[in-house]
Structure 1
Amino acid sequence: MSDDDKTPAREVIADYAQSHFRYFRTADGTVYAQKNGHPVARPIRSQGTTGSHRQELMVGLYRDGRGAFNGSAIKEALDLIEALALTENVQPVHIRVAPGFDGATWLDLGRDDGQSVRIHPSSWDITVPDPREVCWRRTQLTGELPLPAKNTDGKGIDLLMRLCNFANAETECLAIVWLIGCLGPSVPVPAPFLTGPQGAGKSTGGRMLTRIIEGMSGDLRRAPKDEESLIAAVAAGWVTALDNLSHVTPDLSDAMCCIVTGAESVKRALFTDGDVFRVGYRRPLLLTGIDVGVIRPDLADRLLPLRLERPKVRRTEAELWADYAEVLPVVLGSLLDLTVRVRAMEAETPTDLRMADFAHLCAQFDAATGLGALPAYRASLDDLNDDVIEGDLLAQTVLLHAETIEPGASQQMTSTEWLACLSRLYSGDDCRPLPKGWPTTGKVLSDRLKRLQPTLAARGVLVDAGRTKAGRYLEMTRALPPAPHEQARAF
């Protein structure tokens, strides 16, 4: 056969690839390859050292007797396939948890055979999802989960609680509701903050909660030093667990808020002048630490404090984790059973809480179990508000001034007048110096009060801004105490 009659290598590769893989694009234009009949998709441009589509294609060609091809031919074939795939329908890819058809949700078990858990309104089962319903995206952070056990009668939850050192039943309820929330792709969940004295097993408890969702390879990490590194780690997994926090900087606090409720990062694409790529993320976040110092109000609204206590009997690491690995299939099965029960419940959504989806999930949990997750969640937020106030001298001064206002009455002043009023109140008769970080202008004071609005409102002090012909003003109102029947309904 002459050279002119030979089929170019790039055409051989392209024909083989299109017959063995399905190629599609996501909304951001990234092209993925999915082996026929398998739910796992890989980006075709990935140059990873293990598990990239390029390697997958090379191995398939060699094992099927098509030959070994050089990198240039494979690149040319993938360039053609990428161009063709850009005209295909858009389909999203998901890490660990995904929405499905008919109100179902999916949990990726991280297995090579593609078996996953389908959680539908009446039950759950283990099956391989239709590739057109769910496309899994896996990374090095995607660990393997065991096949969950059926017919556990809820004993897995009890086994888990015996291994953890939660301080009381209310904390246990909140931990379970958080785990149920992690199985929902559309439910933002607050970040559990595992606290307690030294030796209470905070890191161990954090690992146990994380590994129920991420498998035995899931682990805690130190907080990255910059936001870009944190976003990269968050985007590559589902549950992000940060260990032993002792201080939360303003930048890290803002990044955590974005992770919990969702945000998007836009960066310039490599080797281009004007193209960009988008990274959207909203992930469950877990934190551990004894004390992180002053908590900003917007982060406090997104935290879920879980207190642990020191165990009375110590166990070796090897013994503890061997027991955990043994009961993990039962724990996961019980959690899935409970998830189905909770999702089937009808409950009113509390309208006064920031994380309304999680509050609604707590109400559903209470309806299904008869326990008190929602009151425990409210109490935890009250405790966090106390922490915010104790760490903010401006908030303390505002509450002190509010005591001079009659209940139901309000007071209006410009931001500059408010600054002078609050500064005089703080300094007192002894003219003590203003603390570091005290607002220096009316504009700074106005911005600080806006951030403190939810915290102050929880203590019955409402701060609002307005404008008249004379200029802008700040209004402080002392709310009337709730009526007795409203207090009873709140609890």
Structure 2
Amino acid sequence: MLCFYIPDINTPILLLSGSHSTSKTTTARKIKSLVDPAVVDVISVPSKEDDFAAALSNNYLVVFDNSDKINRKASDLLAIACTGGYTSKRMLYSDNNLVSISLKAKMIITGIGDIVSKPDLAERCNPIYLVTISDRKTEAMIWQEFNNIKPKLLGSIFNTIKTGLLYLNEFSHIENAPRMADFVQYGAAFTKAMGLDPQAFITEYSNGNAEIVQGCNSSDTLFALLLRFLGNRNGSWRGTARNLLYDLEQYAKSAGIAFDLPLSESSLSRKLNSERNALNSLGILFEKHKGSKREIILSMADSRPTPIPKRIKVEGSDLPFDEQFELDTKEF
């Protein structure tokens, strides 16, 4: 939450999910009250670009409440708004003039179950799973208690940010940093300012993000089919996009799996290429050769052969020949 106070960095969408009676909306409203107080504190995910742009332009922090499964169009708009960008539309229905709409904001989304279904949006989310509250209180009591401690909360928040900024340079380079690296840098600095372990924060965020991305990928029917298809072929496949489309169709038919594959080999190739990172997160390695055949190579990460040590003479070595080894990896 502290990174919501830093306007110049890209901050992942805070995804509050859980079953009924987990205080998702109330938690989101409390954060909104601390960061960007407003009379209208929560809204639903807009279906139109105009409404979406209006929500973002009138709020620093937007809370999309009780969201159901987010469709493809809304996912694209949310992903753009998370890191900042533009979308275009016609100024009037009667002309061809285009107007660019700026999309940029800090965001919270609440909902039940798997709200996010697109990997590109999932990579921009920070999932928090809330547990059921056993000791329920009235709405009036909850807000009275919160408002009583709100001044102290804000004081602690700003003191933590002030101290954390002093540690910022210590985390200017984080090895194997996940997406939203600026957020990770600031988050690690703020974690240290609170007297906690920065590495624990980095690991927790990375694992949570990877889990939600993998959940999206597993629910994608093409990815699910690829996992089964490769498992049936000892973890590897090689050929053209046309060959792959045909083989997938035949495998799906023989396995009794009914779903719509991409309509052409070119759309299948584009899909795999654009989702390369998502495939990697599932352990599927995707390579595309640019030769005359434009072959595609798919393999499971744990199915590649291990290079075999080959004993060769190493020039300048003082070791006996029997102890000289060098990996011959050319064919791999």
TM-score, normalised relative to structure 1: 0.55
By how many angstroms is 1:235 displaced? 1.3
Alignment correspondent of 1:365: 190
Q: Which residue matches 1:417?
A: 243
Measured in 1, the distance between the counterparts of 2:115 and 2:234 equals: 33
Match of 1:443? Answer: 266
SS at match of 1:244: strand
Cα distance in structure 2, aligned partners of 1:473 and 1:459: 21
Aligned residue for 2:246, secondary structure, equals: helix
Does structure 1 conserve the Cα–Cα contact (< 8 Å) formed by 2:214 and 2:282?
A: no
* Within-5 A mapping of 1:164-183: 179-183=1-5
The alpha-carbon distance between structure 1 residues 413 and 307, as it changes in their structure 2 partners (threshold 3 A), is same
Find the counterpart in structure 2 of residue 7 from structure 1: none
CA distance, structure 1, for counterparts of residue 155 and residue 144 of structure 2: 18
Identical-pair percentage:
23
Aligned equivalents of 1:227, 1:275: Cα separation in 2: 17
Which structure has the higher relative contact order (CA within 8 Å, separation 6+)? 2
- Residue in structure 1 matching 2:24, options 190, 202, 206: 202
How many aligned positions are there?
296
| Greater CA drift, 242-251 or 383-392 | 383-392
SS at match of 2:67: coil
* Distance in 2 (alpha carbons) for counterparts of 1:294 and 1:451: 18
Deviation at residue 294 of structure 1 after TM alignment: 6.0
Give matches, 1:321-360, under 5 Å: 321-345=143-167, 346-347=170-171, 348-360=173-185
Shift of residue 385, structure 1, vs aligned partner:
2.6
Shift of 1:300: 0.8
**Gap change, CA 1:318 and 1:379, over 3 Å in 2:** same
Partner of 1:394: 222
The one-letter code sitting in structure 1 at the alignment partner of 2:277 is P
1:193: how far off? 1.1
- Cα distance in 1 for partners of 2:243, 2:222 equals 15
Give the distance between the partners of 1:265 and 1:389, measured in 2 at CA.
26
Distance 1:396 1:276 in 2: 40
Cα separation, partners in 2 of 1:216 and 1:312, compared to 1, 3 Å? farther
Question: What secondary structure is seen at the aligned counterpart in 1 of 2:112?
Answer: coil
Q: Distance in 1 between matches of 2:163 and 2:295?
A: 51
Task: State the one-letter code of the partner of 1:235.
Answer: S
Q: CA RMSD in A?
A: 2.7
**SS at 1:230's partner residue?**
helix
Match of 1:487 in 2: none
Q: Which moved more, 1:394-403 or 1:197-206?
A: 394-403
| Aligned position for 2:319 | none
| Equivalent in the alignment of 2:320 | none
Q: Please state if 1:213 is matched with 2:2.
A: no
Give, in whole Å, the separation in 2 of the partners of 1:243 and 1:454: 29
Q: Is the 8 A contact 2:10 2:82 kept in 1?
A: yes
Which structure is larger by alpha-carbon Rg, 1 or 2? 1
Counterpart secondary structure, 1:194: strand
Deviation at 1:343, TM superposition (A): 2.0
Cα distance change of structure 1 residues 321 and 315 upon mapping to structure 2, 3 Å threshold: same
Q: For structure 1, list consecutive stretches of 5 or more residues without a partner in the other structure.
A: 1-178, 482-491
Secondary structure of 1:337's aligned partner: helix
CA distance in 1 between counterparts of 2:159 and 2:151 reads: 12
Deviation at 1:480, TM superposition (A): 5.5
Deviation string 1:391-440 (CA, Å, 9 cap, x unpaired) is: 11211222234446778xx7432111111222333333xx52531x3223
Aligned equivalents of 1:217 and 1:239: distance in 2? 13
Q: Residue 405 of structure 1 contacts residue 478 of structure 1 at CA under 8 Å; is this kept in 2?
A: no
Taking structure 1 as reference, are residues 275 and 469 closer, same or farther at Cα in structure 2, changes over 3 Å only? closer
TM-score (norm 2): 0.80
Contact 1:460 1:479 in 2 (8 A): yes
Do the aligned partners of 1:222 and 1:243 also contact (CA within 8 Å) in 2?
Answer: yes
